[in-house]
Structure 1
């Protein structure tokens, strides 16, 4: 292979790896913003949190829960307005007890880039702790789509399928923060 072809191949590989890194950061940022308490500096209420989440999506994006458990719980939202309404309903929902901790852990990553489009799969786990002491552990598979628009990767589809929901014994977590100072100055 001559030098020009080697440079072209290297350039293509660097572009693919850069796209994977951008998508990894995009997916992780989404999960970070969904954590409770929200660790993002300057986010003092759920409206600000939702605004930042919506910045990650393209205009015609889809957010859906699929499978026997999530079909009825989450449904399907098409477009930013419907996705925003979903998040407003989620964080605005009256619960028996307030959600005090929810942390997303991503694993089993696969990202496949095809030009300005990509898909990614992850397994995610998240403990939930409520103010009344109830706790549960949820796990889902994610199969998401991404689109690069004007050089910026956005989420084109969030698709989540429940793997399990398991109760945790009360008091399993020794300390629970009431807020995050991670990103504070």
Structure 2
């Protein structure tokens, strides 16, 4: 026969599992918003901004042979958003840019932190009419927002795995 103590332990275990699932879901949503806001044209909704996805003291860094020298380590929400803005409209960089995430693994979900890994495929067309496909590994740490309604990026790491030029076919005339 189950005791009150057993029932309380079961409820506590279920609450912890639910919190972990909700944390993983919130982290996944934050990554999806980040990628949509980095797409060109943007998948942003009115009032959304990249700044709302990062903690005030967030770190964004390029790692590995190609991205350490290209991006380095950027600290603080404002510095991160300023760096990302160099690649987004109205800056003349991408004509089109689409991000795809795969091989997701969200782990270490506690009430205070979650860590996730993805493989990102980025299809980019540039304003100078070049185009390339980029593969990168992302490792991202999240923490709950102060109001606990969303989770924020605390540490974003990206490592380029490969890049390949590709040809963008012109659109047929209407």
TM-score (norm 1): 0.80
Match of 1:162 in 2: 160
Change (3 A) 1:72 1:149: same
Does structure 1 retain, via aligned residues, the 8 Å contact 2:122–2:135?
A: yes
What's the counterpart of residue 11 of structure 1? Answer: 15
2:31 to 27, 32, 52: 27
What secondary structure is seen at the aligned counterpart in 1 of 2:88?
Answer: helix
Q: Alignment length, in residue pairs?
A: 165
Residue 178 (structure 1) aligns with: none
Q: Which has the larger radius of gyration?
A: 2
> Given the alignment, which residue of 134, 138, 155 partners 1:138?
134
- Are residues 1:59 and 2:56 paired? yes
Deviations 1:98-117 (A, max 9, x none): 52211110011111213301
Residue 181 of structure 1: aligned partner: none
What's the offset of the Cα at 1:6?
A: 1.6
Deviations 1:78-130 (A, max 9, x none): 011211221233337976xx522111100111112133011110000011113
Identify unmatched segments of 5+ residues in structure 1. Answer: 44-48, 176-185
Q: TM-score, normalised by structure 2?
A: 0.85
Alpha-carbon distance in 2 for matches of 1:81, 1:134: 30
